[in-house]
Amino acid sequence: MNAELRFGNANKPDKKPQSLYLRIRHNNLYWNKSLKIKIDAEDWNFKKREIITHKSFNNPIHSQHLKEVSERVNGIYYTLKYKSEHFIHTNKLIVDEWVKEKKRKAFIELCEDWYTDYLKTKEVAIQPFLVDVMQSHIDRRLKKEPASFKDRYRRLNDFITNIRGFELFWNKRIKTNRLDAELLFDEMIPFFRDEYEKGCLSTATRKDGKPIEFSGIGLKDNTIKQIIGFIGQVAKKQKKNFEFHSDIFDEFSFTPEDAPKLALTPNQLSLIMEFSDRDNFPSLDNRIWFFKVMYYGCFRINEVFASLKDRTPKQVWENDIEKLKDAKGNLVYHWKCRNFKQKKFHYKKIPMFNELGDLLFGGFENAEQGIFPDSFPSFSHEHTYRKALKKICNKVGITEKITPHAFRRSFLRHVKKKYSLNHSDLMQFSGHQTERALLIYLDDLDNNVPTEANLNQKTIRS
């Protein structure tokens, strides 16, 4: 028996995306099965009959998607390939009789049984990605509708783009049966409010062909409510075809608040950083260390993960730290760390305050002598830091709804005020590429502040 994957039933290039097919054939017996997984012709190797997972200059989230689809497809293909080859060796007389009598129906039923058995054992793995189901839903219902529906199609497409932004930010994709209340309220909504960079996945251009610049961090709560409502609508329409988490139908209620983008005062910051109730707060030291790194590095949560996770202090020191001259000619330690901007991670080179050297290396003097901690404190799931911050704020009497992104805002406001830094200096820390994006974090629009500070070895909280 011969098993093969095909791009569409004919395995021929096409301008439109085609479903992948699995064909098993033996003489005049054959079985074709659509796997209901569509890809573009440019993502299919027609000679090798496999998905192209490594492409130059490709969108990273698309590449990750192709790898995951390839794993799903190959799981089905190799399982049924093995079953068919094993069956022909152990049941040759039966198969010869089917060929002679042209009993194609019996052959198809056998292949269908193999396929059904595989699906039962891989029930979770075969669920599609949420954004794919949502995209297919609006494409099928609205894309070919009259011009009056274009605005609605564009708005719903923007909602899907927002979810893709979350997946890209955390480098993970959400399957339909994995979106529950915990993921939504502990991870997605905080991201949409505080981390989402508007236009980060946009391909919109001006008349001269240059990309349109977007400014602003965070979506309005009413927009978040509409995204959640759209997810629920798609789930209700598609629940006969795919498995969705029950929370989508039972618990997804969200009341918009549009809380202001808050920063911490120096006193509030001290209350958090010096909090010491370890008996009632497991892993408190690790959480406080993470918050301090966020603050002194002017980081988003995922930038801390990208810069430090799975690395040692010695590796960071040897590969990412260098001394550069400041405006006055003084040598200042700089850290080449990760900065998430516009579809992928970039790098920013931040001048390092003494506190940051203490957090990472136990002090610059130790690092210069080759003395390093064995490792950084262990990393937890990202939303545990949000939960910990909320509990600490409640305990110390901070009533405002503070999120981890407030450390980033607080740093920029405090360091500007204390050292009279101008906006170009602040952008070294924030990683912003335009002043317009930086201004969202500041509490005034004054751009004429002189710079007189030696940034190294300074404390900025007091």
Q: For the residues of 183-204, what is the DSSP string, one character each? A: HIIIIIHHHHHHT-BTTTT---
291 & 403 share domain: yes
Domain that holds residue 95: 2-121
Whether the predicted pLDDT of 225 surpasses 60: yes
**What is residue 149's predicted lDDT score, i.e. its pLDDT?**
72
115 & 139 share domain: no
Whether the predicted pLDDT of 59 surpasses 80: no
User: Of 159, 115, 118, 167, which Cα lies nearest the Cα of 135?
Assistant: 159
**What is residue 367's predicted lDDT score, i.e. its pLDDT?**
95
Token look-up 């893709």 returns: 164
Q: What angle do CA 276, 259, 422 make, to 5 degrees?
A: 80
Collect all residues with Cβ–Cβ distance below 8 Å to 271 and sequence separation of at least 6: 396, 397, 398
Mean pLDDT calculated for residue range 379-404: 89
In whole angstroms, give the CA distance from residue 188 to residue 196: 10
- Where do runs of H (alpha helix) occur along 143-258? 150-170, 181-183, 189-194, 221-238, 247-250
Residue 450 lies in a domain: no
Inter-residue contact 244 to 177 (CB < 8 Å)? yes
Token look-up 């301008």 returns: 15
- pTM tops 0.85: no
- DSSP one-letter string for 270-315: HHHHT---TTTSTTHHHHHHHHHHHHHHT--HHHHHHHHTT--HHH
Higher-pLDDT residue of 453, 419: 419
Whether the predicted pLDDT of 359 surpasses 70: yes
Phi, psi (rounded to 5 degrees) for 270: -65, -40
**pLDDT, tens digit (0-9, with 9 covering 90-100), for 284-316:** 999 999 999 999 999 988 899 989 998 999 999
312 & 343 share domain: yes
In whole angstroms, give the CA distance from residue 194 to residue 219: 8
Q: Which residue, 222, 250, 278, sits at the end of a domain?
A: 250
Q: Which residue, 121, 138, 159, sits at the end of a domain?
A: 121
Phi, psi (rounded to 5 degrees) for 123: -55, -45
Residue 178 lies in a domain: yes
Whether the predicted pLDDT of 102 surpasses 50: yes
pLDDT bucket at 451, cuts 50 / 70 / 90: very low
116 & 143 share domain: no
**What is residue 453's predicted lDDT score, i.e. its pLDDT?**
42
pLDDT bucket at 449, cuts 50 / 70 / 90: very low
Least confident of 49-63, 127-141, 148-162, 417-431: 49-63
**What is residue 60's predicted lDDT score, i.e. its pLDDT?**
62
Residue 176 lies in a domain: yes
Rounded to an integer, what is the distance from CA 107 to the centroid of its chain?
44
Inter-residue contact 376 to 406 (CB < 8 Å)? no
Is 331 strand, coil or helix? Answer: strand
Residue 141 lies in a domain: yes
In whole angstroms, give the CA distance from residue 428 to residue 389: 26
In whole angstroms, give the CA distance from residue 166 to residue 155: 17
Mean pLDDT calculated for residue range 223-232: 91
**C-alpha dist (Å) from residue 185 to 7, 247, 425:** 39, 11, 35
278 & 239 share domain: no
Inter-residue contact 72 to 126 (CB < 8 Å)? yes
272 & 330 share domain: yes
Whether the predicted pLDDT of 459 surpasses 50: no
Least confident of 30-34, 191-195, 221-225: 191-195
414 & 295 share domain: yes
Is 322 strand, coil or helix? Answer: strand
Residue 23: which H helix or E strand, with range?
A: strand 18-26
**What is residue 199's predicted lDDT score, i.e. its pLDDT?**
66
User: What DSSP designation does 215 have?
Assistant: -
Residue 347 β-bridge partners:
338
Residue 18 lies in a domain: yes
196 & 102 share domain: no
CB atoms within 10 A of CB 15: 7
CATH (domain of 350): 1.10.443.10
Give the pair of three-digit tokens for residue 318. 């040897």
**What is residue 89's predicted lDDT score, i.e. its pLDDT?**
83
**What is residue 423's predicted lDDT score, i.e. its pLDDT?**
87
59 & 199 share domain: no
In whole angstroms, give the CA distance from residue 342 to residue 202: 9
Residue 423: which H helix or E strand, with range?
A: helix 423-430
Q: Which residue, 199, 219, 250, sits at the end of a domain?
A: 250
pLDDT bucket at 258, cuts 50 / 70 / 90: low
Collect all residues with Cβ–Cβ distance below 8 Å to 411 and sequence separation of at least 6: 295, 296, 298, 429, 460
Residue 452 lies in a domain: no
How many domains would you assign to the chain?
3
Give the chain's mean pLDDT: 84
211 & 304 share domain: no
pLDDT bucket at 411, cuts 50 / 70 / 90: very high
In whole angstroms, give the CA distance from residue 259 to residue 8: 49
Whether the predicted pLDDT of 184 surpasses 80: yes
